[in-house]
Amino acid sequence: MLTPHATRALLSWSPISPRILTARFNYKGRKVTIIQCYAPTNAAKLTDKDEFYDQLQAIVDSTPKRDLKILMGDQNAKVGSNNLDRELVIGRHGTGEQNENGELFSELCSFNDLVIGGTLFPHKPIHKNT
């Protein structure tokens, strides 16, 4: 499912769980780790969410420090537009009010110095909730 160029760059991949997959690539002399995940919905039990985020944190911790980390997928989260005290993690262009999943996701990003890219740039309202 990868282009020939991406196939040559692929160093390793690992299906961690039904919800998480990692792939590591060599890109212009730099290593890039992509963590593809599908978070539990907001209606899921808190124990399921905690287990998911604990597993996700363990994966981020095991990723080599020098790698560029890209966390992508369906986080089932609304981080909202209020970025007070989280300006380095959440941009000004979120939507709605932060939900429980949004709080868990923004905490994970804050702890690991990750930025929620979808909130950094303005988008048409129809494109904010895809």
Stretch 62-68: mean pLDDT: 95
Residue with the two structure tokens 């560029």: 68
Query: Tell me, what's the pLDDT at 88?
Result: 72
User: What pLDDT, on a 0 to 100 scale, did the predictor assign at position 99?
Assistant: 87
Q: Which one has a higher pLDDT value, 97 or 18?
A: 18
The pLDDT of residue 129 is 67
Confidence of residue 35 (pLDDT cuts 50, 70, 90): very high
Quick one: average pLDDT of 58-72? 95
- Residue 44 pLDDT: 95
Among residues 109, 115, 103, 112, the alpha carbon closest in space to that of 49 is found at 103
Instruction: Grade residue 39 by pLDDT with cuts at 50, 70 and 90.
Output: very high
Residue 130 is predicted with a pLDDT of 57
pTM score: 0.86
Rounded to a whole number of angstroms, the CA Rg of the chain reads 15
Query: Are 83 and 94 in contact, with CB atoms under 8 Å apart?
Result: yes
Q: How would residue 108 be classed by pLDDT, with cut points 50, 70 and 90? A: very high
At 94 the pLDDT is 77
